[in-house]
Amino acid sequence: SATVLAACMFGSASAAELVVGFSQIGSESGWRAAETTVTKQEAEKRGVDLKFSDAQQKQENQIKALRSFVAQGVDAIFLAPVVETGWDDVLKEAKEAEIPVILLDRTIKAPDDLYLTAVTSDQVHEGKVAGEWLVKNAGDKKCNIVELQGTTGSSPAIARKKGFEEALAGHDNFKIVRSQTGDFTRAKGKEVMESFLKAENGGKDICALYAHNDDMAVGGIQAIKEAGLKPGKDILVVSIDAVPDIFQAMAAGEANATVELTPNMAGPAFDVLEAYLKDKKEPPKWIQTESKLYTPADDPMKVYEAKKGLGY
Ligand code: AHR
């Protein structure tokens, strides 16, 4: 097997140990850092030798990491793909080397025989849940929305925008007046929100902020406060991830809703991988994780405490 071969070639500790290469995007958000932590914990718990590679937001680094994993003869590859397109060639190389690839948390545009399965949320649904919350809770008045998008070309940025817009369809009082990427980071979220506030009468013409992740929402909240407005009241704040910090903001009345994304993509991924390598059991092409809506009615400080133990 690849493991035995790798053990002979590279002198790894045990021939029985599973070797998995993990190409992670980077550490742009609190959620991403938690996913990294959980993946490392899951690997350790299962006695898997995890080869971790941080791509620092660059697809070219991910492609290099994948090629290096193939050259090392790992047993499997976990890939959290930064963008949707441009993966076909390297995935074909992994396939030719008979190394199964599992996608974590983001989807790609490629023939599905190039990967074993994808463990992700329904990202269109996440956007829809966020939009439906807003439609239900902002009332009948005219509501100008500003949107902080995730990384350009990434599946969550594309899908969360789509789902949110679907929820607004037919509700003509809601309008997205500004929409720009904040790269899923807190700093860029703040910076872009500052420009939105300036462009929209110091924020007085904005009714709601929709951020594709909580980190950008937290940055946006800071910008709203610095502009002399009250986030959560003057400007409603809805986002995605459910990281601990957003629950602190909720408890302070500064955030209104978030849609949970579990950082534990690796648990289900290792489960199906182990079954596949042992018994050739083919998993479904999509393993969908849950998307739960949280609001201040959910006792935010209690959720905050509970979340702290889960890789955050
Ligand atoms: O792909 C998942 C997204 O990536 C998370 O929602 C965001 O925080 C992260 O950067």
CA of 30 to the centre of ligand 1 (A): 9
**Is the beta carbon of 106 within 6 A of some atom in ligand 1?**
yes
How far apart CA 116 and CA 118 sit, in angstroms, is: 7
Alpha carbons 130 and 51: distance in angstroms, whole number: 36
What gap in Å lies between CA 147 and CA 181, rounded to an integer?
A: 8
Give the pLDDT confidence score for residue 309 in this predicted structure.
85
pLDDT score of 139: 87
The answer to whether the CB of 156 is under 6 A from ligand 1 is yes
Closest CA to 146 of 234, 191, 205: 205
* Closest ligand 1 atom to 184 CA: 10
Instruction: Tell me which residues of the chain have a pLDDT lower than 50.
Output: 1-15
pLDDT of residue 5: 46
Does residue 188 line the site of ligand 1, with CB under 6 A?
A: no
Considering the entire predicted model, what is its pTM?
0.94
ipTM: 0.99
288 three-state secondary structure: strand
